[in-house]
């Protein structure tokens, strides 16, 4: 049973690795646009291929965290700084996804908001990950 307490952290590390890979591709697209040159071949499709599952996995992790806290550890759901900042990070990821979807539909005015929310989401996720270290069994 104790090993199950590691499922949420491992899941989130993989999810954040996907999000970081998507960020890297997104930054390549941004650099190309700023330099007024064509983006790397396939970068947009690869960004979407990584970002969409990353957001879904992060959402699943958001649900798994409080469930793990309650059923495996006997804690209050979201009763820690890690839980609170995790919810904030997930909301920022959702906002980035929303504006990313607007971009995908051709609404270029969403670009700045998408970039800002994505950067803030990853920053908040990093803080949540660090805060989660003290909670490991």
Position 1 scores a pLDDT of: 61
User: How many domains is the chain built from?
Assistant: 1
Position 3 scores a pLDDT of: 78
Q: How far apart are CA 122 and CA 85, in angstroms?
A: 11
Helices (H), the chain: 7-34, 43-71, 81-104, 111-133
Position 77 scores a pLDDT of: 86
Position 119 scores a pLDDT of: 96
Judged by DSSP in three states, 36 sits in coil
Which pLDDT tens digit goes with each residue over 30-79?
999 999 999 999 999 999 999 999 999 999 999 999 998 898 888 888 88
Position 93 scores a pLDDT of: 98
Position 7 scores a pLDDT of: 92
Which domain, by its residues, includes 125?
A: 2-133
As given in the structure block, the two tokens for residue 123 are: 């920053």
Cβ distance 82 to 128 under 8 Å?
Answer: yes
Sign of the C-alpha dihedral, residues 30, 36, 41, 44?
positive
Judged against a pLDDT cut of 90, whether residue 102 lies above it is answered with yes
Position 4 scores a pLDDT of: 81
Which pLDDT tens digit goes with each residue over 65-99?
999 889 888 888 888 999 999 999 999 999 999 99
> pLDDT over 90 for what percent of the chain?
85
Q: How far apart are CA 97 and CA 118, in angstroms?
A: 8
HSE on the CB side for 77, CA within 13 Å?
A: 10
């Amino acid at each position: 049973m104790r090993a199950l307490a590691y499922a949420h952290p491992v899941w989130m590390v993989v999810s954040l690795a996907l999000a970081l890979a998507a960020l890297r591709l997104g930054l390549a697209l941004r650099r190309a646009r700023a330099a007024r040159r064509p983006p790397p071949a396939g970068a947009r499709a690869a960004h979407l291929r990584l970002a969409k599952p990353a957001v879904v996995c992060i959402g699943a992790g958001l649900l798994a965290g409080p469930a793990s806290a309650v059923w495996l550890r006997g804690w209050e759901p979201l009763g820690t700084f890690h839980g609170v900042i995790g919810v904030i990070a997930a909301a920022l990821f959702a906002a980035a996804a929303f504006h990313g979807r607007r971009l995908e539909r051709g609404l270029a005015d969403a670009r700045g908001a998408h970039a800002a929310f994505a950067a803030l989401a990853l920053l908040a996720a990093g803080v949540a990950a660090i805060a989660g270290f003290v909670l490991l069994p």
